[in-house]
């Protein structure tokens, strides 16, 4: 019936692909597109938040959801973190915070990046807590907050060795004391950012801690001080202070290579695609751009709809493995922008439409961001954050997909399973 309508044929084929996903009732609502998607396990995220809160206690936990929650989907992850007990959220810029507010999240949001003067009105209007490093911005926020009859909370950052956004001690004290009595301004927090906690440089990390202690001694009237991120939270109880800023660990990854695997974190994201074509390749034939992979034997090659524009880095060409039918299959040839190929010669009974896991677990095998990062010569943060906006996210709770986000639907769209559960 679709012989004269290739677009309708494509949409029908894609609908069939998505209908085969385990969460069929919700996933079948997916409109036509490429068969690549991410599944975000909100139960795992909530577990991680609760675990980190227990590690942080009595300090409060700020859940870091910048960079689209490290590629996991900012609004749903932020909502889950707050529901699981996070005291607040942290992002880098006003745009990221505005997305959370548009998603109905009213929790405190700390801006850990430097906002521009032109964004002061949005900061006050959205009820954000910026990091402020200039008197000019303090004065602008004071004027706007006073005009609205509200209190604008701010944090100040000490430069203690990262040499990035903060102020040296004397300049920081001068700024804080000068802004202390401005109308409408409340300096709520004082913090610094560790430079080498993930590298195990305990001596330098201790010097940064001492620097924050000295800053707080001179600014003892500021009620909260914080320094710990994921690594220092899990490894150094003395770093907890009044609040901690947890990022990578929220999503199931330990920031320190070789750390205790029994800490209890659960991976949150799985990146999946489907086998869309199988090709028989004769010995001596090549596959992909640049002809970088040559068949040493008659081989079966699976075409997968996931490429470097989706977050599967080109540097993983001929190095990474994917999971098909619970077995590892090596990438064959260069990863292209929109697709890649895998050698499934040794995987029995592979068929078109089979699910392939780019990052995650299938059967008894796992390919995680740590493995991909090591192969690519980078860090797991970059692998996770690199899952692009065009990859649909399906948010899983209790084994069912309850919402999705897509490139055209940035705010979560409830799915049928969620609607049925709410009746």
Alpha helices, H only, 20-93: 24-27, 42-56, 66-71, 74-83
272 given a catalytic annotation: no
Given the residues 18, 23, 251, 289, select the one marked as catalytic. Answer: 289
Alpha helices, H only, 161-312: 169-179, 202-218, 230-235
User: In Å, how far are 244, 272, 356 from 16, measured between CA atoms?
Assistant: 45, 16, 16
Those residues with Cβ within 8 angstroms of residue 96's Cβ, 6 or more apart along the chain or in another chain: 65, 66, 67, 74
For residue 274, how far is the Cα from the chain centroid? 23
Helix (H) or strand (E) holding 362: strand 355-362
What gap in Å lies between CA 79 and CA 72, rounded to an integer?
12
What gap in Å lies between CA 136 and CA 117, rounded to an integer?
8
The number of beta carbons lying within 10 Å of the beta carbon of residue 102 is: 12
66 given a catalytic annotation: yes
Given the residues 18, 66, 225, 395, select the one marked as catalytic. Answer: 66
Question: What are 329's strand-pairing partners?
Answer: 322
What gap in Å lies between CA 39 and CA 402, rounded to an integer?
11
**What residues act catalytically?**
66, 289
């Amino acid at each position: 019936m679709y012989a004269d309508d290739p677009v309708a044929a494509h949409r029908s084929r894609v609908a069939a692909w998505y209908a085969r996903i385990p969460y069929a009732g919700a996933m079948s609502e997916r409109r036509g597109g490429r068969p690549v998607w991410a599944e975000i396990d909100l139960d795992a995220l909530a577990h991680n938040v609760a675990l980190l809160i227990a590690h942080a206690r009595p300090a409060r936990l700020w859940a870091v959801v910048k960079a689209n929650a490290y590629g996991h989907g900012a609004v749903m992850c932020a909502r889950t973190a707050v529901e699981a007990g996070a005291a607040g959220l942290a992002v880098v810029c006003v745009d990221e915070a505005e997305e959370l507010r548009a998603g109905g999240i009213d929790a405190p949001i700390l801006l850990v990046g430097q906002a521009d003067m032109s964004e002061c009105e949005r900061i006050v209007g959205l009820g954000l807590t910026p990091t402020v490093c200039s008197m000019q911005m303090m004065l602008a926020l004071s004027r706007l907050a006073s005009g609205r009859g509200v209190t604008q909370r701010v944090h100040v950052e000490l430069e203690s060795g990262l040499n990035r956004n903060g102020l040296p001690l004397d300049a920081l004290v001068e700024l804080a004391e000068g802004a202390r009595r401005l109308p409408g301004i409340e300096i709520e927090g004082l913090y610094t950012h560790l430079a080498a906690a993930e590298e195990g440089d305990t001596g330098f990390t201790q010097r940064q801690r001492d620097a924050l202690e000295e800053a707080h001694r001179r600014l003892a009237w500021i009620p909260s001080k914080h320094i710990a991120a994921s690594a220092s939270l899990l490894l150094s109880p003395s770093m907890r202070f009044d609040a901690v800023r947890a990022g990578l660990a929220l999503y199931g990854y330990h920031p320190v290579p070789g750390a205790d695997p029994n800490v209890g974190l659960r991976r949150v994201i799985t990146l999946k695609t489907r086998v869309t074509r199988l090709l028989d390749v004769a010995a001596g034939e090549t596959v992909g751009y640049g002809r970088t992979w040559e068949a040493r034997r008659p081989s079966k090659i699976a075409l997968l709809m996931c490429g470097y524009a989706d977050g599967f880095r080109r540097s993983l060409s001929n190095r990474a493995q994917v999971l098909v039918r619970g077995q590892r299959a090596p990438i064959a040839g260069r990863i292209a922008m929109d697709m890649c190929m895998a050698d499934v010669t040794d995987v029995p009974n592979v068929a078109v439409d089979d699910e392939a896991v780019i990052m995650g677990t299938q059967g008894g095998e796992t390919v995680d961001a740590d493995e991909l990062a090591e192969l690519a010569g980078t860090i797991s943060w970059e692998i996770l954050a690199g899952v692009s906006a065009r990859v649909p996210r399906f948010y899983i709770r209790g084994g069912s997909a309850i919402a999705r986000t897509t490139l055209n639907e940035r705010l979560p769209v409830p799915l049928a399973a969620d609607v049925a559960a709410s009746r």
